[in-house]
Amino acid sequence: MTASPDTPAPPPGSLSGLPRVLRLIGGTSLSLAITILGLLLVTFIIGRVVPIDPVLAIVGERATTAQYEATRLALGLDEPMWKQFAIYVGNAVQGDLGQSLRTKREVSADIIRYFPATLELATLATLFGVLVGVPAGVLAATRPGTWVDQVVRIVGLMGYSMPVFWLGLLALLVFYGILGWVGGPGRLDAGFSMMFELDVQQRTGMILIDTALAGEWAMFRNAISHIILPSAVLGYTSMAYISRMTRSFMMNELGQEYITTARVKGMPEWRVVWVHALKNVMVPLITVIALSYAYLLEGSVLTETIFAWPGLGSYITDALFAADMPAVLGGTVVVGVVFVTLNMASDLLYRLVDPRAR
C-alpha cells in the first residue's frame, strides 16, 4: 500500500533518523574493534621479537630444564603462532594482561592502581588547556595583527618549542625550590600519604575526589599544592595546541556571511563572537580537545618522572628499565585503547552534532 500524497512527512529528529544513527554507531564500533585488534597484533609481535626470554624471566637462571619446560608449556609457547595470538586476544578481552615480573601482581591490577593518578593529572591539565586556550584563541582571532594576537601566538609557540622535561625542572626549581609556593614531587607529603593509605577510603584512586568525599580538607589542600604545578606544566602544551586551533577556527568562522549579516543588523559584537561564532567553532573543537586529552593520557611520562608522580607513565617506564615486558605491553595496550576510544568517540560525537559531517 502506497502512502497518500497528503500524508505529512515525519518531523526532523523523529525516529525516522534512528536507523542512520544506529548505523553510524555500529560502523564506529566496528572500526574501534578492528583498530584494537590491530593494536593487540602489534603488541603481540613486539612481545615475540624482543630479545628477552619470557620463560627465563619468570623461572630465573637457576631453574632446571624441567621447570623451564613446564613454565613454557603453561604459557602456551609450544603452540603455533596463530594459536598463541588467539589466546593472547582472548585473555586481553577478559582483562588478563599477564603477570608483572617486577611486582609479581597481575598487570591489570597494577594498571587499576596506577592509572587513576594519570587520569587525575591529565584531566586537570586538559581543563587548564581548555579554560585558558579557548578564550585566548578567541581573543587572538578577533584582534588579528594586534599585540594580543602576537602574545597569544608567541606563548603558543613557546609551548610547542620548549621541552617538557626542561620546563618541568625549571618550574620545580622556581616555584617549589626557591619560592616554596607549591608542594614538591609526589602526590602528597609523606605524612599525608601514609594517612591517605590507612584512613581514607579509596573509592576512585584520585586523591582530590577521595579526600573531598572523606571530608579530609587538610589533605585535600595538600594534594592541590602537589598537583597544581605538574598539571600546569602538562596543560601548557595542551593550551598552546588548543589556542592555536581555536584561533584558526574562529578566524575562518568570523569571515562567514552570517556573521556579517548579524553585525549589519546591529547585534552586539560580544554576542556575535561568543555566542554565534563560538557555537559553530565548538563542533570541530570537540575533536581537538579530545585528541589533546588522549595525548596527555599517553604522553605524560616525562612529567610523571620529573614530579615523581606515580601514574601509568612512571609504571611503564620502570617496567621498561626492569625488562618487565608483560607490564610494558599491558600498559601499552591500555594507553592505545584509551587513545583510540577517545578518538573514535570524538569522531562519532562530531558526526552526530554536525549533520554536514555525515
Burial (CB count within 10 angstroms: exposed 0-12, middle 13-18, buried 19+), residue 8: exposed
pLDDT value, residue 1: 44
C-alpha cell of 273? Answer: 563572537
Ordered domains of the chain (ranges, CATH) = 19-93 (no CATH), 111-357 (1.10.3720.10)
Which residue pairs, CB below 8 angstroms and at least 24 apart, start in 296-301?
296/121, 296/122, 296/125, 296/126, 296/234, 296/235, 296/238, 297/118, 297/119, 297/122, 297/335, 297/338, 297/339, 297/342, 298/335, 298/336, 298/338, 298/339, 300/118, 300/121, 300/122, 300/125, 300/234
pLDDT tens-digit profile of 231-251?
999 889 889 889 999 998 998
Separation of CA 309 from chain center: 16
Give, in order, the Cα–Cα distances in Å from 26 to each of 20, 31, 257, 275, 345: 10, 9, 36, 33, 12
pLDDT tens-digit profile of 128-164?
999 999 999 999 988 888 888 888 888 888 887 788 8
pLDDT value, residue 224: 93
pTM of the model: 0.79
pLDDT tens-digit profile of 288-318?
888 888 888 776 777 888 888 888 888 888 8
Give helix 325-353 / helix 18-49 axis angle, nearest 10°: 160
pLDDT value, residue 149: 87
pLDDT value, residue 283: 78
What is the SS3 assignment for 106? strand
Which backbone phi and psi does 88 adopt, to 5 degrees? Answer: -60, -45
Q: Which residues 6+ apart lie within 8 Å of 252 measured at CB?
A: none
What are the pLDDT tens digits along the chain (358 aa)? 444 444 444 444 444 456 766 776 777 677 778 888 888 888 888 777 776 666 766 666 677 777 777 777 776 777 778 888 888 888 888 888 888 877 888 888 899 889 999 999 999 999 999 999 999 999 998 888 888 888 888 888 888 778 888 888 898 899 998 888 888 888 888 888 888 888 888 888 889 998 999 888 999 999 999 999 999 998 898 898 899 999 989 988 888 888 888 888 888 888 888 888 888 888 788 888 888 888 887 767 778 888 888 888 888 888 888 777 888 888 888 888 888 888 777 777 766 666 555 5
